[in-house]
Amino acid sequence: MLRLAKRLSYRDRVMEHLGALLVAYPRGRQFGTDFPELGARIRADFAADVPAPRAALGLAAAMIEALVGQLDDNGRRRVREALAALPPREVERLAADRIARAPGRGGDAARIMAEVIAVALFMAGRMSTAGAFGDSERAAFAAAIDAVLADGGHDPARTKEEAGP
């Protein structure tokens, strides 16, 4: 019974960190619905003693990879362009607005995905600075996102370990 309580507490902490990383995730969408592997991944990370913030970082990377992986090369190009067009000050403002629960501005799918990614990268930087995980883990998170946004996108042959945190 104690192990179950610890696992549930761990799940809650992971979900807290995941919610912080993906604070710009479209409202009304559910992580578990969009990413059915969520529960199994959390249980596996708990069993492997992965710290909750690091588990959330890996889950955020996998969720972004799954969403962007559904796009064709043109869709990934549009997300890259929208991401490149977001000035750092705007990303910081977007993060602050989402933390304050201000409604999103909407826009096309590429813009929304770019905002989710930009805010996730921003929040990962803040969490890394705060000591939730190391800078190398934050860099691996960014590299995993860069890889999925590249032309050709997700390579199903890549393993979980190769994909980053």
The span from the CA of 156 to the CA of 160, in Å, is 10
* Residue 29 forms part of a structural domain: yes
* Residue 104 forms part of a structural domain: yes
* Residue 165 forms part of a structural domain: no
Region 109-119 average pLDDT: 92
* Residue 76 forms part of a structural domain: yes
Residue 10, CA distances (Å) to 16, 28, 107, 121 in order: 10, 24, 35, 23
In terms of pLDDT, which residue wins out, 88 or 158? 88
User: For residue 118, what are the domain limits?
Assistant: 2-149
* Residue 66 forms part of a structural domain: yes
The total domain count for the chain is 1
* Residue 54 forms part of a structural domain: yes
- Banded model confidence at residue 161, pLDDT cuts 50, 70, 90: very low
- Banded model confidence at residue 165, pLDDT cuts 50, 70, 90: very low
In terms of pLDDT, which residue wins out, 108 or 103? 108
* Residue 164 forms part of a structural domain: no
* Residue 26 forms part of a structural domain: yes
